Amino acid sequence: MRLPLTSHGVLVAHGPGDSDGTFARAFDLLLATVPLAVVAIAVTAYVAAAVAERRGRGWPTARTLAFVGGGLVLALSLSPPMERLSDESFSGHAAQHLLLAMLAPLLLVLGAPVTLALRALPRRRALALGHVLRSRPVALLSRPSVALLLNSGGLLVLYLTPLYAWSTQSTAVHALVHVHLLLAGLLFAWVIAGPDPAPGRPSVRVRLVVLGVAIALHATVSQLLYAGLFVQVDAPADELRAAGSLMYFGGDIVELMLALALLLTWRPDVRRTREGPETVRSRGLAASIGSRWPIRRTSRPSTPSRAAAPAE
């Protein structure tokens, strides 16, 4: 629920010659159009790569539909009508939160954009992307505990601290909160159920436990909003109850979709072989790129198997 800058006395447009007012309007227009343009470019690039890949080695239509659907949901959550609805009521903000931070990230991740990029990029760029995926920062971010902290922890900070109030008073803070919600949602969906390769991905059981913790935290925040307890949100009680209910039930639906995606898209990441986990992980990335662009194995060569004993 971001109030217009002019209502706070921060920037007041006194007339067509006022430079501050012109700058404020230009900045608001920039924030309204640039995200939608980025989403449109990303969806267009994905569809073009998917069509080309489908003509070659094949690409699942379901993944394309998921990514396009996620792009549409993301565009809807960032559209001017949704922004106005979020500005006018806290329940509108809750609806925007569900679309931006939960549903859109899940659909985008299910489109497996990284796998498509590994296949579509030229050899050198695909190898560079593969090395990034095996880097230490990505390995750290791909830990379920880190993804949980950034995703659910950000939700706690947003509503249990003055951060939400600041986001209603500053366009820059409002935009940064949106960026965090989207990126944290993408990271969490990728770590829990993404079909794209991830370094050191834990077992399904571990990820289900982490997802259960996230569901419990989201439900707790929703109930606190409904009751108006401990939350630093200046909104009428009826709006808090409506927002709490929407986040509770709407969040359950998206989280159940995430759990289902985990069970349907899971693949073993590290198999027990003599080659070691790093070799298997590199092979998985090479499979994502395709046999044309093999990735150099970084693990030590496997120990030669013992010769079979002569038959008696």
Question: In angstroms, rounded to a whole number, what is the distance separating the alpha carbons of residues 90 and 236?
Answer: 9
Question: In angstroms, rounded to a whole number, what is the distance separating the alpha carbons of residues 153 and 146?
Answer: 10
- 257 CB-near residues (< 8 Å, 6+ apart): 106
CB-based contact 141:187 (threshold 8 Å):
yes
DSSP classification of residue 228: T
CA-based nearest residue to 157, from 149, 168, 169: 149
Q: What is the mean pLDDT of residues 287-303?
A: 44
Res 69 pLDDT > 50: yes
Query: Within 10 Å of residue 144's Cβ, how many Cβ atoms?
Result: 20
pLDDT value, residue 305: 46
Q: What does pTM read for this prediction? A: 0.80
pLDDT value, residue 22: 75
Q: Is the dihedral of CA 203, 205, 211, 214 positive or negative?
A: negative
CA-based nearest residue to 96, from 218, 181, 189: 181
Q: Is the dihedral of CA 97, 100, 103, 109 positive or negative?
A: negative
DSSP classification of residue 310: P
The C-alpha R_g of the chain, in whole angstroms, comes to 23
Better pLDDT: 147 or 294: 147
- Cα atoms found within 13 Å of the Cα of residue 260, Cβ hemisphere only: 8
> What confidence tier does 283 reach under pLDDT thresholds 50, 70, 90?
very low
Give residue-wise pLDDT tens across range 85-123: 998 999 999 999 999 999 999 999 999 999 999 999 999
The identity of residue 30, as a single letter, is L
> What confidence tier does 271 reach under pLDDT thresholds 50, 70, 90?
very low
Res 145 pLDDT > 90: yes
Range in 24-28, 129-133, 195-199 the model is least confident about: 24-28
3-state secondary structure of 96: helix
Res 208 pLDDT > 70: yes
3-state secondary structure of 112: coil
Domain segments of the chain: what residues?
A: 5-9+30-267+276-289
